[in-house]
Amino acid sequence: MNLEKCLPGLFFQTYYVSKEKSNCPLIIDALRFFKKFEKISNSSISLRYGKRVLINTKKDGFLEVVDYDPFKKILLVMGPEEALTESPLHWFIHHAREDVNAVLLIKNIEYIDKLGEKIPASEKNYPLWTIEKIKDILGLLRNSKIVIIKDIGVLFVGKSINEVEKQVLKIFGDLK
């Protein structure tokens, strides 16, 4: 049984620096991406914004992730909405890789079947927000900008949101 799917908000605490709605200028780029790829549902996208990470939320809003402590399991955010369970993963990728400014996680296992075995896959069965799972994914991202996350979906990283868009189109074709 996957507890992460059953009890999604109980694995890390979220502290709010501010509950004000984000005015990050990158929101426009993220909204453009979602509009362009309307067929991709249940996904999360994040963009680096200085030392912060802009990420979408469950209610089609946005948060700015300021910090994450994996040992105390504390996520520090700015914004009015609840954080996604994969928010710590996004934050770690952006802070571990200077060359990554955009991350997309498509949470749909149907996309995994379309990729076959040519894309590296994270097989370890840990929740997305744990340091074990994050280290596994970061290791796979050393050699590929696309990673399969078993039982969850496909992760794309790039220098920009445009690079991620090109990867999605190259792998899956026209999803508009």
| Per-residue pLDDT tens listing for the chain (176 residues) | 344 444 444 478 999 999 999 999 999 999 999 999 888 888 999 999 999 999 999 888 999 999 999 888 899 999 999 999 999 999 999 999 999 999 999 998 888 877 767 789 998 888 888 888 999 999 999 999 999 998 899 999 999 999 999 999 988 776 55
Give CA–CA dist 30/45, Å, rounded.
7
DSSP 82: P
Give how many domains the chain has, as a whole number.
1
Looking at residue 143, which CATH number applies to its domain?
A: 3.40.225.10
Question: Which domain does 154 fall in, by range?
Answer: 3-172
Amino acid present at 150? K
- The H-assigned helical ranges of the chain are 3-6, 27-36, 87-96, 110-115, 131-140, 161-172
Task: Count CB-CB contacts under 10 A for residue 64.
Answer: 22
Find out whether 175 and 40 touch, Cβ atoms under 8 Å. Answer: yes
- pTM listed for this prediction: 0.90
Does an H or E element contain 83, and which?
Answer: none
